Amino acid sequence: MPRVLIADKLSPAAIDIFKQRGVEADVKTGLSKEDLLKIIGDYDGLAVRSATKADKDVLAAGVNLKVIGRAGIGVDNVDIPAATSRGIVVMNTPFGNSITTAEHAIAMIFALARQLPAADQSTQAGKWEKNRFMGVELYAKTLGLIGAGNIGGIVADRANGLKMKVVAYDPFLSAERAVEIGVEKVELDDLLARADVITLHTPLTDKTRNILSADALAKTRKGVMIINCARGGLVDEKALRAGLDSGHIGGAAFDVFVEEPAKDNVLFGAENFIATPHLGASTLEAQENVALQVAEQMSDYLLTGAVTNALNSPSVTADEAPKLKPFVALAERLGAFAGQMVDVEVKAIDIAYEGEVARLNTRPLTAAALAGVMRPMLAEINMVSAPAVAKERGITVSESKQDDSPIYESLVRITVTTAMGKRSFAGSVMAGTPRIIEVKGMDLDAPFGAVMLYVNNLDKPGFIGNLGALLADAKVNIATFNLGRVAAGEDAIAWWAWTRTRASPWSPRSAPCRTSRKPGRCGFSGSHSEKCEAVFG
């Protein structure tokens, strides 16, 4: 019988589910790290909330661990890379607290519009400042949603019930989905100019960090109210404080902060500012929901191998894994590249498989590609959740397969359809390594790297030299360089990978030329052998 350790407080109903499903569940909360290390080796599963830290030491001691279940969304307390390296599946419960978080945002809007916290404090202090607390109606006001996923959609539904006008900015929101949830899809600048109330419901990524920057806040209507119950760091806190002090921002209500616990913050003390200590998911119902979900998911995995809401594992069998591994890496990296090239609404994503890969189980490959495309805007997305998120946002996903590939043994092509048209990216696996082989219809054989520079330019003499000189001035050491073009003088692309190091001389390395797939045709004009691959530094 599988054994699960419940290390943080969960609803008793979750314990009942484990027992009913035939999983032995031991409840031992408040363990010190030393005590946890002593007993974790006896368990197949570990159920936690946020208190227990499943770090690399705990994972190393958990010699029998197969799954870790987080009753909630965030998994900052779980070392996912270490878990992955040990074959431990990490699951969360991303939808159990959606309603609760949405309701908290609505509550913050009401509290801000009617100045409830300040009015309560004043009244209980024996004052009767009826004329001081003049509020505003929400009826007929415009609510601007930044992020219209699961939680944002619930907020939109509640706001529509209040007879508010709802506009939404979300690059992954389709026109059809916008109609379904009752919002008008707009660009960010339009939202800033029109919204009386702005509420954020997006993950924190490189693209969303400080999405409400000083410049963005300056574009808002005078008197706008800002609500953030999503993630700290979405709003420039210093700029917001300046806006509150100047009177341009009418009020703000935050449940999340850049630094938590927020014992001291630049926003504290500002007039018409409301703060709560990250209470978005703090209701009895939400905690019950996530506990029940994590118990079901962990039981399913331990008893049947079914994987739900896994953050680090595709749904593949043991026999399929070795064959699929390099193609999963290719699909995710190719998708991530495609996602970074898209800044407008994604309407459809098509993944085409040619050659040997078309005869494999492509479902995890498609999931990896979707996760890659959407991850620049949705940091918490994973291979398991990607298909559901795409469906929720009205993105059409299609697969096509062709048994033969004209040039390569296997080829994967991702075509992203946006409001601006279609963009296509293709890749293959060579000697077990993922490579990109086509961008926008142009041949380009290049490896993926941790840091890459992609440039789209006209094919004119001097461009590459000038760009190389700029990189050299910045002390950027070029590692690989690849070119592609439609024809002489027409559309061209350059692909650079590098490491930022000390300035150092470069020379070509001896290896098969990858740029043209034929010796001596790499386009490098310097002295080089017939097997030059134009790799510098």
The answer to whether residue 248 is catalytic is no
* pLDDT exceeds 90 at position 421: no
**Candidate list 137, 180, 260, 409, residue with the active-site label:** 260
The answer to whether residue 530 is catalytic is no
The residue among 208, 187, 205, 211 whose CA lies nearest residue 419 is 187
Instruction: Domain 445-537: give its CATH code.
Output: 3.30.70
For residue 429, what are its two tokens?
Answer: 């696996």
The answer to whether residue 521 is catalytic is no
> What does the pLDDT look like over 402-416, one tens digit per residue?
998 888 999 999 999
Task: Give the three-class secondary structure for 228.
Answer: strand
- Where exactly are the structural domains of the chain? 1-94+283-306, 98-275, 314-439, 445-537
Q: Which residues contact 408 (CB under 8 A, 6 or more apart)?
A: 354, 355, 428, 437
* pLDDT exceeds 70 at position 108: yes
**Candidate list 248, 278, 517, 528, residue with the active-site label:** 278
**Candidate list 231, 241, 333, 435, residue with the active-site label:** 231
Q: What is the mean pLDDT of residues 325-334?
A: 91
> Quick one: pLDDT at residue 301?
87
Q: Which residues contact 82 (CB under 8 A, 6 or more apart)?
A: 55, 56, 59, 60
pTM: predicted TM-score of the whole model, two decimal places: 0.69
Rounded distance, CA 476 to CA 332, Å? Answer: 27
> Quick one: pLDDT at residue 471?
81
Q: What is the sign of the dihedral through the CA atoms of 15, 383, 389 and 394?
A: negative
Do 98-275 and 1-94+283-306 fall under one CATH topology? Answer: yes
Q: Which of 78-87, 113-122, 195-204, 482-491 has the lowest mean pLDDT?
A: 482-491
More confident residue, 537 or 464: 464
> What does the pLDDT look like over 276-293, one tens digit per residue?
999 998 888 988 999 999
* Residue 319 pLDDT level (bands cut at 50, 70, 90): low
Task: Give the three-class secondary structure for 277.
Answer: coil
Give me the chain's average pLDDT, please: 86
End-to-end CA distance of the chain: 57
Instruction: Domain 1-94+283-306: give its CATH code.
Output: 3.40.50.720
Whose tokens are 């006209």? That residue is 458
98-275 is classed CATH 3.40.50.720: yes
> What does the pLDDT look like over 168-192, one tens digit per residue?
999 989 899 999 999 999 999 999 9
> What does the pLDDT look like over 196-251, one tens digit per residue?
999 999 988 888 999 999 999 999 999 999 999 999 999 999 999 999 999 999 99
Q: What is the mean pLDDT of residues 323-351?
A: 89
* Residue 380 pLDDT level (bands cut at 50, 70, 90): low
Task: Give the three-class secondary structure for 257.
Answer: coil
CATH assignment of 314-439, among 3.30.499.10, 3.30.70.360, 3.30.1330.90, 3.40.50.360: 3.30.1330.90
For residue 130, what are its two tokens?
Answer: 């009826």
